[in-house]
Structure 1
């Protein structure tokens, strides 16, 4: 593990006590309690409230979050802890949008430029995925395009080719939409509206021969230095490492206490209690930054660990399993376990992922809890580990997708309503957390940590041949390219396609 550019605290930590009992699932799980979880979530919310109600990467709120995590881990004296700095482009925008004087909430698509337009709004027939869909009247005006069937980038490219001056994409599904144009480019000012406003605007278009839209997008871009926090047990076999991860940043629009303060506090709580035990296999915790901007922290970590994304087999091969925790306390939750064997979504993880899935399901079953499968969509930080062939798993409770009738029977709550109605919004506060799911999922984290800290069972070492790593990278890229409509998965369809855990490139 490279630490030459990192801020290291392992040498100044207190001396670890010489005798500690061997970790056991029963004892570690038994230490997890709701009061401690709520207190940790409240700490993160207090940080957000003191810093503009956000913990977006590189902001004062996120920097304070990093310090909070770092200090808590150092205080245990049990870990070698370091901050891993990196620089990434931060982008946000203010959007004002109205149609014939009626104002509507709108979001810009990532990589959209700034713009100030006051032009006729032209409805696009079909779905806007071919040039033939665009009438000549769109020239110089704003194209109003339905979401679906092709990428936002393709729609925006077609609109520009047809001569439009701006683009509004309206959601055809009654759920939250955050989107991206995929990469920097010579784009038109592009924004999106939700299903309700979209239907209202369609009614305005159908009832008028001339409909004028005003669209103002004010984009802020700046390079920001931010930090991952990495902590590894001082004891244990450092050639056979269990790694757990959660992201520490919120979206700019809110405090991010479920997304992903819940995962952050979940693994931090387990890390603090693990310090009272001895382990056979080393345990490493990764607290990722800039997840909401495209899984940037976790990918940076793997790249520096390797030298290149699919490079140094030695360091990557030490990671026997990676467990990811992104949104584990959604208010209208379903208890999801990543589909390691691919039996539900036909997208399996590297060898050993099925065992991780089975072990999580077994733990929940032992607590008389049902689970459902979550897809490896590439929408959270496990994506970088999948790319490197590392067996991966985790639990989540859903994001912007809608709860099914079957899930409402299994878990209660309301079918047809988002798992988290405050997903990526200002309302993602401590009051947004389902405390029962928060407790159960953190107990599942504790069980998995104790289990694999002693024995990886039949989880094989990652296949780190050059060809295998290349296949894993391509397979994961294909997996992310296949992502389309929102699914009941952790995180957002981030820039990577969610937890950026929210930004979609397609459909």
Structure 2
């Protein structure tokens, strides 16, 4: 059965995109009661404690792609899949990683004692020049007197690219940046094509100390970056496959994914140990749950390096596999207590089979989930190959995003469990043995109306 035929059958039964929302206030129809019974085969088995404990385990150390921390996580995930009885594959791939080399700062000939981190993409070189504080480096804050100076900048408000462009336009020869209020550490910073000056990051406390020093004296700073550049590293995807019942195989494939890598120096409890835990929980439950659909549970490496792992996986799919792939569900950052509400993002901002299923499952399990438009996660490579795909995430993001503060104590068991229940119910709506014949009123979910939400990440 082709993906087009599957999608038409599913969509015909769901009729979600144009259905009225009154169903939420009315007593459940018999078909909805039946559907709740099927949902319970999955969601009653989901364990908040298991979900939370996996996040705690995975977030004990950073899992930056290409490091021992990531490899340890990969081996753990592989072992979990295998313990559930899955055929499990490690899919290695090579990516280019940034090696920051070494960086140093001297202030009026005295060596700076704090940690100095090189911006990704920074050029190598040494510059010695007067230091000038330019606040957030908005166009209004950067003076014409910036020419030939090193800019001291506070992070926040506008992107790195704009900050560097604004000081470069006024003739800056180097950049030292420190974190904004509430941000910790110095693991941040990017330069882009044409921004060919040494650029480094220091922590907020050190930055504010230099700002105070500038109030009472002029500073000549020496900024050095050496040995920075790209190197080849290896990361991994982990893929676990559950074949359908041989006498009920519809030929379709459903994929459920998360990314297991974290940013450098970040424990990544929410980003994305939470999503990995959700994938493992559903894999454990579905292992003994009958299905008529091939299920592939996967975690991707090097998402934080530019979706490298998911692009690699998508590139390995044959045209036959792509045609049989009915849907891809991506769980990324699903457990933060401090983030906003759940939303389903698609790269083009249009509804698809995944958002239809997710909205319907949400209405049955918790509440209707809205949808929006966003790339930036591992649903994109599937979408680009013509596979219906959506990202399940809470937005707006928490203040701890991409920081050393993304720790287990910020995780909400309730949010973690709810998203896993919604995705599990949506997946099982397709995978259970009496589908894809969803036009049958006895098994079709109740129609749900859900809206576009122009919500920022």
TM-score, with normalisation over the residues of structure 2? 0.72
Question: Which residue, 245, 259, 266 being the options, matches 1:254?
Answer: 266
2:333 aligned with 1:323? no
Q: Which residue matches 2:73?
A: 65
Alignment of 1:145-164 (within 5 A): 152-153=160-161, 156=164, 159-160=167-168, 163-164=171-172
Q: 1:428 to 1:150 in 2, by over 3 A?
A: closer
Q: Which residue matches 1:294?
A: 306
Distance in 2 between the 1:259 and 1:441 partners? Answer: 14
Deviation of 1:181 after TM superposition, in Å, equals 3.0
Distance in 2 between the 1:60 and 1:324 partners? Answer: 25
SS in 1 for 2:81: helix
Distance in 1 between the 2:437 and 2:410 partners? Answer: 37
Distance in 2 between the 1:200 and 1:360 partners? Answer: 52
Distance in 1 between the 2:436 and 2:210 partners? Answer: 56
Q: Is the 8 A contact 1:62 1:248 kept in 2?
A: yes
2:202 aligned with 1:190? no
Q: Which residue matches 1:74?
A: 82
Deviation of 1:199 after TM superposition, in Å, equals 7.4
Q: Is the 8 A contact 1:257 1:430 kept in 2?
A: yes
Distance in 2 between the 1:124 and 1:162 partners? Answer: 11
Q: Which residue matches 2:20?
A: none
Q: Which residue matches 2:241?
A: 232
How many pairs are equivalent? Answer: 396
2:340 aligned with 1:334? yes
Q: Which residue matches 1:89?
A: 96
Question: Which residue, 37, 40, 54 being the options, matches 1:40?
Answer: 54
Q: Is the 8 A contact 2:243 2:293 kept in 1?
A: no
2:119 aligned with 1:109? yes
2:426 aligned with 1:448? yes
SS in 1 for 2:90: strand
Q: In structure 1, list runs of 5 or more residues that go unmatched.
A: 1-22, 307-311, 402-418, 460-482, 490-507
Alignment of 1:466-505 (within 5 A): 489=457
Deviation of 1:95 after TM superposition, in Å, equals 6.0
The answer to which of 447-456 and 281-290 deviates more is 447-456
Q: Is the 8 A contact 2:78 2:238 kept in 1?
A: yes
Q: Which residue matches 2:376?
A: 379
Alignment of 1:70-469 (within 5 A): 70-77=78-85, 79-93=86-100, 108-123=118-133, 135=144, 137-139=146-148, 141-144=149-152, 152-153=160-161, 156=164, 159-160=167-168, 163-168=171-176, 178-182=188-192, 187-191=196-200, 207=215, 210-213=218-221, 215-217=223-225, 219=228, 221-235=230-244, 237=249, 239-305=251-317, 312=319, 314-339=320-345, 348-349=349-350, 351-365=352-366, 373=370, 375-398=372-395, 401=397, 419-421=398-400, 423-454=401-432, 455=435
Q: 1:128 to 1:36 in 2, by over 3 A?
A: closer
Distance in 2 between the 1:165 and 1:198 partners? Answer: 18
Deviation of 1:282 after TM superposition, in Å, equals 1.4
Distance in 1 between the 2:121 and 2:57 partners? Answer: 33
Larger RCO of the pair (alpha carbons < 8 Å, separation 6+):
2
| RMSD of aligned residue pairs (Cα, Å) | 4.0
| Rg larger in structure | 2
Q: Is the 8 A contact 1:337 1:374 kept in 2?
A: yes
SS in 1 for 2:231: strand
SS in 1 for 2:415: helix
2:38 aligned with 1:24? yes
Q: Is the 8 A contact 1:156 1:190 kept in 2?
A: no
Q: 1:353 to 1:35 in 2, by over 3 A?
A: closer
Q: 1:126 to 1:277 in 2, by over 3 A?
A: closer
Q: In structure 2, list runs of 5 or more residues that go unmatched.
A: 1-36, 440-453
TM-score, with normalisation over the residues of structure 1? 0.66
Q: Is the 8 A contact 2:137 2:167 kept in 1?
A: no
